[in-house]
Amino acid sequence: MQVLEFTPEIAKATDPLYEKVKHIIPRFEWELHAPYIQRINRLKKEKNAVILAHNYMTPEIFHGVADIVGDSLGLAREAGKTEADVIILCGVHFMAETAKLLNPEKTVIIPDTEAGCSLAESITPQDVRGLREKHPGVPVITYVNTSAAVKAECDICCTSGNALEIVESLDSDRVIFLPDRYLAANVAAQTGKEIIIWEGACEVHEKFTPREIRDFRDGSPGITVIAHPECPVEVVKEADYAGSTAQMIRFVEEKQPDKVLLVTECSMSDNAAVNFPEVDFIRPCNLCPYMKKITLPKILESLESLSPVVELDERLVKPARRAVERMLAASS
Ligand code: 13P
Ligand code: SF4
């Protein structure tokens, strides 16, 4: 991997960006990132590339090189709208696959193909076929955190931002909801429908405990607790609000609480703290090891080489895309 030097010219070009993130990124660290940021931002214009970044990207990526940031739903929507020739997806593999499904003619790149997801790993297409055999006629909803091969076996996708809306949109009292048992349980707590679950879990969110949340409340009276619905139901019950990563940010923007605990992946609080300097973020920290595989040097390499590209089996594209498009059509 190439090591780039910090020069006075790079300082001059990137200092306005640093102003924004200086509370979060120490100067010595910025000097390591800045040469990559400058080169990536130049190269993406030359190659007509757009960088879509998930809310869990580290601040130097999120605030330094991303063109569009968001949750899984937002990134899927933006991927469908972009005019760029190349999409660099800074997130995990299923997100890059979703971008490719919606843009089969475009070059979609993920800077590290090892950026997976414990939820996506928990289920296979054969598992979905087994569930259909066991529950004939019951519609199958898949969380977007699955491979394209799994999506191709399902009727409709959902994300954490629209899971309840998608469940409610189906004309059936019973639905199969996979693969996250916690998201399924959190939706089940809000709907009258019977939800058949799969035993998958997000290895980051399942670690949070209600006890931890109560301890944070005791230590910081008046704190507003916002949890991701991939957390266990008992954790979500302790929160003031639960929503997707984008909904969490919207909640902070609208309510402007003084002190906030975001019960989710570490980088969320760092990124939000840059955008809401007046809000005090108390930071529980569970890292997603897959999201953290995406780094500035890898983004630069992928822009230079226009690889690794996301390729999909032709046979999967139509059915998997249909599941994603049905979701986009059914969610507000
Ligand atoms: P969001 O859609 O809420 O961003 O969640 C994606 C994810 O992977 C959370 O762990
Ligand atoms: Fe998957 Fe959890 Fe990481 Fe999100 S945080 S990408 S659900 S492992």
CA of 230 to the centre of ligand 2 (A): 9
Query: DSSP assignment of 279-295, as one string?
Result: SEEE---B--TTGGG--
Give the model's confidence band at 179: pLDDT under 50 very low, under 70 low, under 90 confident, else very high. very high
Q: Of ligand 2's atoms, which has the minimum distance to the CA of residue 180? A: 7
pLDDT in tens, 156-176: 999 999 999 999 999 999 999
Boundary-marking domain end, from 174, 202, 230: 202
Residue 79: per-residue pLDDT: 86
Whether residue 110 sits in one domain with residue 34: yes
Nearest to 37 by CA among 55, 47, 16: 16
Query: Is residue 104 located within the same domain as residue 29?
Result: yes
* Same domain, residue pair 27 and 59: yes
Return the CATH number at 156. 3.40.50.10800
Ligand 1 center to residue 115 CA distance, Å?
A: 14
Please tell me the predicted confidence (pLDDT) of residue 301. 97
With 70 as the cut, is the pLDDT of residue 102 above it? yes
* Ligand 2 atom index nearest CA of 290: 3
At residue 231, does pLDDT exceed 70?
A: yes
Q: At what angle do helices 27-46 and 8-21 cross, to 10 degrees?
A: 100
User: 209 C-alpha vs ligand 2 centroid, how far in Å?
Assistant: 17
106-126 tens-digit pLDDT: 999 999 999 999 999 999 999
> Which residue's CA lies nearest to atom 6 of ligand 2?
117
- Ligand at shortest distance from the CA of 250: 1
Confidence of residue 3 (pLDDT cuts 50, 70, 90): confident
Residue 185 within any structural domain of the chain: yes
Pocket of ligand 2 contains residue 265 by CB under 6 Å: yes
- Classify burial at 124, counting beta carbons within 10 Å of its beta carbon; exposed 0-12, middle 13-18, buried 19 or more: middle
If we measure between CA atoms, which residue out of 84, 4, 83, 70 comes closest to residue 37? 4
Distance 10 CA to ligand 1 centre (A): 34
> Is the beta carbon of 291 within 6 A of some atom in ligand 2?
yes
Q: What is the pLDDT of residues 30-88, one digit of tens each?
A: 999 999 999 999 999 999 999 999 999 999 999 999 999 999 989 988 988 989 999 99
pTM over 0.85? The answer is: yes
Per-residue CA distances from 31 to 25, 41, 67 (Å): 10, 16, 21
Tell whether 129 is covered by a domain. yes
297: cis peptide before it, omega within 30°? no
Domain assignment of residue 145, yes or no:
yes
Nearest CA to ligand 2 atom 2: 202
Contact 274, 63 (CB under 8 A): yes
Q: Is 145 touching ligand 1 by the criterion CB < 6 Å?
A: yes
Backbone angles phi, psi at 286, to 5 degrees: -120, 115
- Max CA distance (Å), the chain: 66
The whole-chain average pLDDT of the chain stands at 96
* Angle between helix 93-102 and helix 314-330 axes, rounded to 10 deg: 90
pLDDT, greater one: 74 or 91: 91
Alpha carbon distance 238, 241 (integer Å): 9
For residue 205, what are the CA distances in angstroms to 158, 202, 208, 227, 286?
18, 6, 6, 9, 8
pLDDT at position 73 is 85
pLDDT > 90 in the chain, percent: 93
Q: Are residues 194 and 210 in the same domain?
A: no
Ligand 1 pocket mutation, candidates 77, 159, 264, criterion most atoms within 8 A of CB: 159
Among 177, 202, 227, where does a domain finish? 202
Residue 210, in any domain of the structure: yes
CA neighbor of 257 nearest in space, from 274, 237, 280, 241 = 280
The finding on whether 244 has its CB within 6 A of some atom of ligand 1 is yes
Q: Band the pLDDT of 2: cuts 50, 70, 90.
A: confident
Separation between Cα atoms, residue 120 and residue 274, nearest integer Å: 30
Residue 162, in any domain of the structure: yes
Question: What is the Cα 291 distance to its own chain's centre?
Answer: 9
Tens-place pLDDT, residues 292-310: 999 999 999 999 999 999 9
Query: Based on the domain organization, do 30 and 70 belong to the same domain?
Result: yes
Residue 293 structure tokens: 């595989």
pLDDT at 266 over 90: yes
Going from the Cα of 175 to the center of ligand 2, the distance in angstroms, rounded, reads 23
Residue 250, domain extent: 205-282
Residue 329 falls inside a structural domain: no
Mean pLDDT within 83-100:
96
Where does the pLDDT of residue 331 fall: very low under 50, low under 70, confident under 90, or very high at 90 and above? confident
| Count of domains for the chain | 3
In this prediction, residue 1 carries a pLDDT of 66
Q: For position 299, what pLDDT does the model report?
A: 98
Which is the closest atom of ligand 1 to the Cα of 74?
A: 2
One domain for residues 220 and 147 = no
Q: How confident is the model at residue 284 (pLDDT cuts 50, 70, 90)?
A: confident
Looking at the structure, tell me whether residues 58 and 153 fall in a common domain: no
Please tell me if the CB atom of residue 142 comes closer than 6 angstroms to any atom of ligand 1.
no
Residues present in the chain in total:
332
Distance (Å, whole) CA 57 – CA 293: 10
User: Is residue 108 located within the same domain as residue 185?
Assistant: no
Q: Is the CB of 165 under 6 A from ligand 2?
A: no
pLDDT of residue 285 exceeding 70: yes
**Based on the domain organization, do 128 and 152 belong to the same domain?**
yes
**Residue 244, ligand 2, Cβ within 6 A:** no
pLDDT tens for each residue of 189-199: 999 999 999 99
- Is residue 140 a contact partner of residue 176, using CB atoms and an 8 Å limit? yes
Buried b (16+ CB within 10 A) or exposed e, 57-74: bbbbbbbbbbbbbbbbbb
Does some domain include residue 246? Answer: yes
Do 186 and 210 sit in the same domain of this protein? no
| Confidence (pLDDT) at 332 | 78
Average pLDDT, integer, range 208-224:
96
Say if ligand 2 is within 6 A of residue 203 CB: yes
